[in-house]
Amino acid sequence: MRATSRASNPAWYQDSLDLDFQLHIRTAGDTITTFYHDRKQAKWSAGPTLSDEILRDPTKVESLILESVRFARSNGATSLGVILHIADEFATTEIKPELDNPAALQELRETVIQDPGSILEDTSIIADQGTWRVLPYPAAGSAAIATTIALSRQYAPLLLQMTEIGENGNFPIITHALAAPLVAIMGLSQTLQSTPGKPFVAILQYPWFTTLAFFNEHGDLRLIRTLQHRGLRRPTNFRNALSTTNASLEFIDPDLFLVPLGSNVDPTLDADLKITFTNSRVEMIQQKAIEGIPSWCPEPGIAAEPAPEAVPENTSHTFTVLREEKWSLQNFLPTPKEVVEIFPAHNEMRLLKIARLARVAVVALAILCISYFVFGMFEIIRQPEWAFDSSQADIAKGRLAKLTLEKSKSAHWDNLLDDRSKAWSNMEFLSRLFPANGGMLVKTYTHSSKANSTPGQAKIGLIKEWKMTGSARDEALDYLNTLNTREGISAHFTDVARITGNNAFDPSIGNRNIVVNVRTQENSNYKPTPPEESSDADESTYPFTFDLTITQRFETEDPLAITTAKAP
């Protein structure tokens, strides 16, 4: 796409007659004329000088074409349409009679290009040597629905060379080869005025041949004949041919319109026809003048100019279809398919352009997506967590495990070494349980602490027991009875806990349970003695004996319960 302007310049895919700047070349045997046509300004001007030698030798055409391109560029054109009007040859070939089907005209039009041999009656033709195009006979009652116009391929190399020069210069040069007589016939509607209700014959006088176009009384084409001059100024059997054709078409005294289409055609034909065909209206047609074009070569003007208003009497079906369906503007020497197919078609160029845009869009979208991803990645990498070394986590985990172990160890020994059972505090407990001068004498004291093991528990509860026996006087009984209550013994425990600071005596912690049992009896050895004679250490002076049992339970949930596990 970078090397060609095909994507940006639509002229590459337009018809040469639709381009704004055109070079018209008319080959009429003895004269070759060229014209430039600026469609935008509707101006005609003289073209470059072209000789028959250059026309026949394509290698010499390059300088002419380059000059035309320069001229086109200087006129602001971006393309050049080259229209070749072939007026030095014209022949008709009939199509096979079995193909006379008006509905198949379009199919015939295509087939004659692809495979002319399949529809032409003359089986001896060689397709490579000529080029054929169908021309319909729209008149009702025609013997055939159409004929074919045959031209040689002598100018094909010339047009191909022009196309290649355009390709090489990246400047669209679009060629088109027209059969000049067909264009001239199409232009008749603008110039002649036939007698109403009468058929007419258009006699196209070219330097090397004369074409006869027979129209019926409705102005529709019935037949075309070409008579070669064979070195003379007119065909030798012209009058005879005209008469016999008129007779065969049952034309009675048709109007005869002479159309001189060469600078040096026979000027006496008009007078001769008037002598021969006395009952016919014989008229010389004068072409409408176009500035810059001689009147005897009207074909460029007819082909390039938009359809002018026709003479009302001649607006027949024939003239309509010849222009609208472009039967007269058929390209006899199109660029060969193998050359055309070197480059992408117009749709493909458009597809390329769309693909390019689509690629840009997709790339832009991809860049956006990738930018989003990169930005996201950048955001991630910027986070402090990204720079974090995972081994630090392992180190921290190891340190935490070590500290946890140390904590567990500390908790373990803290538990085991807790003040759950101490001799000194038990002695304080005893001394405060039986205060001096309390009227009591303790004889024995035993204390035990043992585990209350329950298998499967993480901690072991405790059972503590205190057993005391002794003697008591009357005044101590109330005290002993007070101790024998839950409140009384709990108050004592609380008091000891407060004084010693030993929580083992605190009955409010956990779910501790204290059971007390005091039993008093009369002392069988009691000897009543006056108070002043009695000794505190003499058991016989105490009227009562007692035994006191206290049991304290610590459950497994108690803070002083013993950890069963070994030190970690």
Only segment of 54-62, 145-153, 289-297, 422-430 that touches another protein (CB under 8 A):
422-430
Question: Which of 63, 114, 315, 431 forms a contact with another protein (CB under 8 A)?
Answer: 431
Work out how close the CB of 94 gets to another protein at its nearest, in angstroms, rounded to a whole number: 31
Which ranges constitute the DSSP H helices of 456-516? Answer: 474-483, 486-500
Report, in Å, the least distance between residue 511 CB and another protein.
19
Exposed, middle or buried by CB within 10 Å (0-12, 13-18, 19+), for 119? Answer: buried
One character per residue 334-373, x = contact with another protein (rule: CB under 8 A): -------x--xx-xx--xx--xx-xx--xx-xx--xx--x
Q: Residue 2 interacts with another protein (CB under 8 A)?
A: no
CA–CA separation, 567 and 554 (whole Å): 22
Instruction: Give, as ranges, the residues between 284 and 343 that touch another protein (CB under 8 A).
Output: 341
Contact status, residue 166 vs residue 237, Cβ threshold 8 Å = no
| Closer CB to another protein, 263 or 452, in the complex | 452
**CA–CA dist 68, 88 (Å, integer):** 23
Instruction: Name the token pair of 390.
Output: 């995972």
Cβ atoms of residues 142 and 83 within 8 Å: no
Minimum CB distance to another protein smaller for 293 or for 550:
550
**The dihedral sign for the CA sequence 317, 321, 323, 328:** negative
Residue 173: name the closest of 183, 164, 185 by CA: 164
- Residue with smaller CB distance to another protein, 494 or 564: 564
**Does 437 interact with another protein (rule: CB under 8 A)?**
no
**CA–CA separation, 533 and 441 (whole Å):** 17
Query: Whose Cβ is closer to another protein: residue 289's or residue 369's?
Result: 369
The distance of closest approach from Cβ of residue 445 to another protein in the complex, given in angstroms and rounded to an integer, is 4
Interface map 377-406 toward another protein (x if CB under 8 A): x--x--xxxx-x-x-xx--xx-xx--xx-x
Does 423 engage in binding with another protein (CB under 8 A)?
A: yes
- Number of C-beta neighbours around residue 515 at 10 A: 12
Query: Residue 524, interface with another protein (CB under 8 A)?
Result: no
Judged by CB under 8 A, does residue 409 bind another protein? Answer: yes
Can you tell me which residue has the tokens 């409408």? Answer: 288
Residues that bind another protein (rule: CB under 8 A) add up to a total of 76
| Cα distance between residue 229 and residue 207, in whole Å | 8
- Binder to another protein among 446, 485, 511, 525 (CB under 8 A)? 446
Q: How far is the CB of 554 from another protein (least distance, A)?
A: 11
Amino acid letter, 70: R
> What is the nearest approach in angstroms of another protein to the Cβ of residue 523?
17
Identify any residues that bridge with 210 across adjacent strands, giving them in sequence order.
205, 227
Residue 61 CA to its chain's centroid (Å): 47
Q: Which of 447, 503, 526, 547 binds another protein (CB under 8 A)?
A: 447
Q: Name the strand (E) or helix (H) holding 150.
A: strand 146-152
Quick one: 92 or 540, whose CB is closer to another protein? 540
**Residue 410 binds to another protein (criterion: CB under 8 A):** yes
Smallest distance, another protein to C-beta of residue 279, A? 55
Query: DSSP string spanning 170-206?
Result: T--EEEEEEEHHHHHHHHGGGT--PPTT--EEEEEE-
DSSP state of 47: -
CA distance linking residue 516 with residue 420, whole number of Å: 20
The piece of 137-145, 245-253, 419-427, 473-481 that touches another protein (CB under 8 A) is 419-427
Per CB under 8 A, the segment of 10-18, 83-91, 263-271, 409-417 that binds another protein is 409-417
According to the binding rule CB under 8 A, does residue 564 interact with another protein?
yes
Q: Is 416 in the site for another protein (CB under 8 A)?
A: yes
- Contact indicator for 493, 507 with CB cutoff of 8 Å: yes
Rounded to a whole number of angstroms, the minimum distance from the CB of residue 392 to another protein is 6
CA-closest candidate to residue 272, choices 206, 207, 222, 205: 205
Nearer to another protein, 376 or 435 (CB): 376
Subset of 106-135 contacting another protein (CB under 8 A)? none
